[in-house]
Amino acid sequence: MKLKFCGAAGTTTGSQHLLEVNGTRILLDCGLYQGRRKDAYQVNCCFPHFDPKDIDCVVLSHAHIDHSGNLPNLCSKGFEGNIYATFATRDLCQIMLADSAHIQESDVRWLNKKLKKKGKPPVEPLYNKRDAEKCLKQFVNVGYDRPMPIAPGVTIRFFDAGHILGSAQILLEIDDQEDGKKKRMLFSGDVGRGDNDILNDPVPVKDIDYVLMESTYGGREHELGTRADDRIADILGEAIKRGGKIIIPCFAVERTQQILYVLHQLFEDKRIPEVPVYVDSPLAVNATEIFRLHPECFNKEVNDFLYEKRNPFGFEGLT
């Protein structure tokens, strides 16, 4: 069994790890490296550590672009195998990869205008919307805690990582033909802190021989208690009293839905007066639709909310 770090090692973003076992090449994540344009293009365009045609399958931990964003390029460069992911990850990838393609295309349009002025030849985007759409056909959806054989002597199982909708830690149960030993390897993906407003807590996975672990915030201490409702109630309450307006810059996926749910609760509990709320992002609106389709990812509180036929992410006054 051999493991190679092809990204997100010594740096953040561009998560790609190549596992070679029993004559099979398994790629864990296929993220986009997000750095300065020129460096990023070099790193992302040509897969310097392997040939996409030689990869047998991809296992994807979650839909964030630094973990999934180079899949359309991998597929258009000759990867033909399955991409294993949870149902919610696949659905989020549908909108997030399309959005990423849109960014690649508009970025190149802008760059080509500048190159033309300098008399230089135009460049191609890393991938386009059609590539993003095409790679979705290679997805195979797997539910949490369902064993799925993906290669000779290799079975995977997803466990909730509590990071974003559909996020998973990947357990690989390996029957290594090289030394005849059974091994349990865990790829953590990105791990949530738990006690999340909407998601399940990360599931502890036991009896692991090898852990491949993200450590982006490994050197930092976070405040205890990540729930935002008290602070939001204070800030909004004060601004509303003054007749002010509040602008909340927000990631389109996860954070927007989390904020909407918190606002819904604050209005319902009459902790703040009901005011109009506007979500100004097509990606966030599309993501919210996908959130509603995946109750399997929600904690008990949100599920109870849904059970009473209430929409956690929608309320009167929301545009």
Establish if 64 lies at the interface with Zn ion (CB under 5 A): yes
Do 174 and 42 contact (CB within 8 A), yes or no?
no
In the complex with Zn ion, the residue whose CB is nearer, 160 or 190, is 190
Minimum CB distance to Zn ion, residue 31 (Å)? 9
Dist. CA 53–CA 58, nearest whole Å:
12
Minimum CB distance to Zn ion, residue 10 (Å)? 18
Q: Which range in 32-40, 41-49, 61-69, 178-186 contacts Zn ion by CB under 5 A?
A: 61-69
What are the residues whose beta carbons fall under 8 Å from the beta carbon of 206, sequence distance 6 or more?
A: none
Work out which of 190, 197, 214, 254 binds Zn ion, going by CB under 5 A: 190
Q: Which range in 23-31, 63-71, 270-278, 280-288 contacts Zn ion by CB under 5 A?
A: 63-71
Question: How far from the centroid of its chain's Cα atoms is residue 189's Cα?
Answer: 9
Contacts of Zn ion in 287-316 (CB under 5 A): none
Establish if 29 lies at the interface with Zn ion (CB under 5 A): no
In the complex with Zn ion, the residue whose CB is nearer, 77 or 294, is 294
Dist. CA 99–CA 129, nearest whole Å:
8
Strand order in the sheet with 2-7: 2-7, 16-21, 24-28, 57-59, 82-85, 139-141
In the complex with Zn ion, the residue whose CB is nearer, 64 or 264, is 64
Number of residues that bind Zn ion (CB under 5 A): 2
Q: Which range in 89-97, 188-196, 265-273, 276-284 contacts Zn ion by CB under 5 A?
A: 188-196
Do 68 and 8 contact (CB within 8 A), yes or no?
no
Establish if 17 lies at the interface with Zn ion (CB under 5 A): no
Tokens 């949530």 found at: 192
Dist. CA 15–CA 65, nearest whole Å:
9
Minimum CB distance to Zn ion, residue 33 (Å)? 14
Dist. CA 140–CA 274, nearest whole Å:
43
Minimum CB distance to Zn ion, residue 40 (Å)? 18
Establish if 131 lies at the interface with Zn ion (CB under 5 A): no
Residue 24 corresponds to which amino acid?
A: T
Residue 70 corresponds to which amino acid?
A: N
**Residue ranges binding Zn ion (CB under 5 A):** 64, 190
